[in-house]
Amino acid sequence: MQDLSSLSGDREVEDWLAQGEPHAMAHALNRASSELRTEAMEALADDKAVRVFGLLEPGNQADILQTVEMATRQRLLEEMEPDDRARMLSRLPGETSETLLRELTPGERTMTRTVLGYPEHSAGRIMSPEFVRLTPRMTMAAALDEIRAGQTRAETVFVMPVADDDMHLLGTVDLSQIVLADPEMRIADLVTQDVPAVSVTDDQELVARLMKAADLMIVPVVEETNRLVGIITFDDAMEVLEFEEGEDFARTGAAEPVDGSYLSVSVMRLVRARIVWLSLLAVAGTLTVNVLNTFEDTLENVVTLALFIPLLIGIGGNAGAQSATTIVRALAISDVAPKDALRVAWREARTGFVMGLMLAVLAFVILSLIFDQPIALVVALTLIFICTFAALIGSLMPLTARVFSIDPAVFSAPFVTTIVDTSGLVIYFLVARLVLGV
């Protein structure tokens, strides 16, 4: 995809704005400076500007709306889908968000406020209140008329919810079924009733994973009385999964997720995303220093033991991180749950033991050729204990976090590594004292 920095001269920029494909243009603008994004939105033709704007990152959309001329801002804001608009406005200060809301037409303002009124990270926040609703008594011909009348604002018409006059959800029907059916047939004859619906308060990530697992193009969103209030489309669900997986990935590396393209984010924003966790881990790392200080006499008596400290804590940290990452992923896709803690712990402990035993045999053979056999035995036994302990801790911490409604990714690799490093040193020196008698 072409980068804006590769264009030279006003003529090339004009050609790019006129001929560029919206998706490629959005990708380039997400990586561009704030000034370039604003200039592009002002220069693009109305229809194309709306399409490109809708594909930008929410943070960049918010930035553009605060810098373009009022006429451009009102046009871009008005043409957004209510759920996309709500997602973007939630990133702005309350006063700025309210100012932009007041610029909307009454109908769009009402729908946007409705979406914003639901809890953050709930299904209601990503649903579209604009959809074509069919009734069971409609004929196919009447349904097609309804689709034609509402398709310009509806987010999708490929699959549509069916509800009665009181908006109680009855099921869904595919557009292809309507087109191919006899014009005099009723919607009630085609409605699929076993399609899952979700509540407005359900967690976004769970809804998105449901849609992916069930291969659903839309999922109806209902309130407590089974009253239909909106739909969630597959593309919005995939955006949620992409964000959640990015968030988990960032936190397993002891950082907060960064909103927006990496190249468009300031250095200070990157620092803020990383420094808090790095500081916490630095404080936690002082435990390792305390352990070394406690066993200072043991190190003075057998200086050779110090040679293997980096090896042992490195292997232990990696073993714990492997286990934690595996369980975080299993929790994310609902493969395991906190109630499976004993089964998971037993499984991971055995896995860690077998890995430790294999490494111990290899280490004992190699180290016996270079050092005394007692030293080789200390390292070998420590590897068994450390790998078993690391796998056990790495599996239990994410499960414990889920019980307390804490993001399991926060308690994965970085914290597990710190804990295992400290505990691994204690195990190492205790084994050394036992085997070497120091």
pLDDT, residue 41, reads 84
What residue has token string 């007041």?
Answer: 102
Give the model confidence (pLDDT) of 67-113 as tens digits.
888 888 888 888 888 888 998 888 888 888 888 899 899 999 999 99
Longest distance between any two alpha carbons in the chain, whole Å = 94
Three-class SS state of 162: strand
> Does residue 220 contact residue 172 with C-beta atoms inside 8 Å?
yes
Helix/strand/coil for 170: strand
Contacts of 315 (CB under 8 A, 6+ apart): 359, 383, 386, 387
- Residue written as token pair 């004009």: 14
DSSP classification of residue 119: P
What's the sign of the alpha-carbon dihedral 9, 13, 19, 23?
positive
Q: What angle do CA 222, 225, 231 make, to 5 degrees?
A: 10
Q: Which token pair is 147?
A: 């689709």
Burial pattern 393-427, b for ≥16 Cβ within 10 A else e, equals bbbbbbbebbeeeeebbbbbbbbbbbbbbbbbbeb
pLDDT beneath 70, residues of the chain: 1-14, 248-265, 270, 273-274, 277-278, 280-282, 284-285, 287-289, 292-293, 299-301, 410-414, 438
Q: How far apart are alpha carbons 158 and 82 in whole angstroms?
A: 19
Classified as helix, coil or strand, 233 is strand
Q: What is the pLDDT of residue 4?
A: 56
Query: What domains are there in the chain, each with its CATH number?
Result: 4-117 (1.25.60.10), 140-248 (3.10.580.10), 266-436 (1.10.357.20)
Which residue, 83, 71, 72, 81, is CA-closest to 38? 72
